Structure 1
Amino acid sequence: MLTLDKIYQASYVLKKVIRPTDVIAAPAVNPDSEVYLKTENLQVTGSFKVRGAYFKISQLTDEEKACGVIACSAGNHAQGVALAAKECGIKSLICIPDGAPISKVEATKSYGAEVMLVKGVYDDAYNKAIEVQKEKNMTFIHPYDDVDVIAGQGTIGLELLQQIPDLDAVIVPIGGGGLISGVAYAVKALNPNIKVYGVQASGAPSMYNSILQHEQITLDSVHTIADGIAVKHPGDITYEICQKYVDEIVTVTDDEISTAILMLIEKHKMIAEGAGAVAVAAALFNKVDIKGKKVACLVSGGNIDVTILSRVISRGLMKEGRSADVTIELMDKPGQLQDVSTIIAKLGANVVSVRHDRSDENMDINSCFLRLRMETRDHKHVEEIRKALTQAGYKLVEKVR
């Protein structure tokens, strides 16, 4: 059973491995509330996962340690288990789907783990891990549905209350529920008046739907840039704890997550992965009632793959109206591009991409589509440009098949 004593025990055990992460004021997140960032993205291995993994492994018997540990993950849990096993002087084997980014595979290896690439997706890797665990009598380290793992994550709650004693609310990402279960239990045990809000990606709302329907559900599929919380089925233990201790669970879209990542980069010089930014997205877009309150957003991880970071930034710019696309139907004759560019330039926007299309089947034979991407100030600025082009006699095409 999870107890406050166990969380305090985990806090003591973890002192020699993890670093107490800083709390940083973030006034740009929400002007109507006092927001702070709990920077677990700056934790060793780049996420909170090492807390639960290390405490779990530290509690194994000598016989269990001699057989080693096994886990299944393509991301933060893999690295947390690998480092924890290395620190405890035991061997670790991580089963990873063969489609995982090379950077994550190499990062896991760098912490001392043996990596087994498994053909298929996460579920295939999980099944392989269970198979190997039985063959070799290794201990399976579950990413979230384990009391010791939850206790390790709960140490974040203890730190938060020491750093912000008059905290009103904490906003926490949810995947399988291990992180929020530990944080909510610790916070509510020490101060029941503090609100605990959970956030899931709208493309992977397993805990959100389960709490709403008062029964655990399994999603048919998940689709989100927040791959660290893309979980189809919540944990058994975590579901029970969330029912009891979490005040509300909300969802955020991929566009909102992208905007939050972009804001953290620009305003706070901080890199967060998709899962790490959902709490900030919830505060940024007022998904929970935090007006006038002192709030901590848990930035759970920063291990975003650099190959998708540019796409995430692009989505965030689009969401804020700082990047916009416009398609114009033109007569295919000299001077048209110059005239359009002049209008856009006079309104202070910058054209960064131009594409002429004369082959679209939807256009007249003597016409063309001019597709532009612009750097703009905000949505109001975009509308000013669109209005000016329309008033100048240009036909804007809303959607081209």
Structure 2
Amino acid sequence: MAVTLFQKKQSLAEIGEELTQVNNDIAEKAGNPAVDDTVLNKLSEKSESLEKRFNLLKTQIDQQEAKDKKNLEKKNQRTHENDDPKAKQIHAFAGLVRATMSNKPVTHDILEALGDDDTTKTGGQSILPVTVSNQIIAEPFDDNPLRQDEAISAITNLILPRVAFSIDDDGFVGDQEVSKEIALKGDQVAFGRFKTKLKAAVSETILNGTDTALTQYIQSALQSALALKEKKVSFATTPNAGEEHMSFYSDEVGIKKISGDNMFDAITQAAGDIDDAFQANIKVYMRRPDYLAMIKELSNSSATLFGKAPEEIIGYPVRFTERATIPVVGNFSYVQLNYEIASTLYEQWKDYDKGINYFGLTAWFDQQILLASAFRLATTTSSNPSTTSTTPASK
């Protein structure tokens, strides 16, 4: 029969009392010359034996208490994690990655923790659960500055009105470029499905590490890949076939080009050319080297302008992206990015030449520039004489 911790502590107390009594006897008899040495030797041996027993039992008790404390902490942690939705999602997403990487079906408890409400799907490999979509797709991240300004959605077969609101007598929709654009392109925008495949390289140490580290690594890698793809299509000078409508530089979109003698003139004139209805949220997207060169030219080698915010210099906030080879000026709330979450696929494969395992996500998305009238391209006559036209490009 196993001895309980309570029984061990009882025995330890009894041995301790006996050891104390024996040591007291030794102290009392050692000072009495009449007591024979044999008696003292027996008491000393008994004391050593009791002390050894006491220490052995004390070690067992300490080990048992440490083990029980650790188990209690783990239990409390599990209880806390069960009550913490974020912790549950982290563990579930890590389970999803590990199952995918080992070509095993994703269990229903993982899918349920990730927000999947349709367990009739086979294995979960064709599902992007709601919470994961929020973490990977819907949450804004700094690598793509457009996400600070454009609308993000995850709606299948999304159709939007080109103009979100109108007033019968405001004349906005019937005014100049907006009315021409709606007549040319229609008053509705239908989002399509364009596939992108993202890969996150996963080492064995990451895969076998903690759930938190694995989840953070995979989500960060996929977010970075998405940001790169989104920026690439948004500022593509030669878009892929079928993706022309996503680029600010595409003739199909037909954003008006405004030319100036220098970058400052081009940007300010472009901003001033935009209709008052769009002025409230105008921002400028451009390359950082172009902005610094503009400031250097304006300051005439003085350092006074370099410490000022762009709003103080050109009158509008600036977002920097290396792909904006021509500054784009406009109200970026008239751009929308839409993902079809239900169509997303998870998969894994290995590059045997490099010996690297990949966790892959295939997603379908579309980006629509709802109104080209809300934007201008700022070109300069000195650097780009071929883009001096101030008329919209035809579709």
The alignment's TM-score, normalised by the length of structure 1, stands at: 0.19
Q: Which has the larger radius of gyration?
A: 2
Asked which structure has the greater RCO (Cα within 8 Å, sep 6+), the reply is: 2
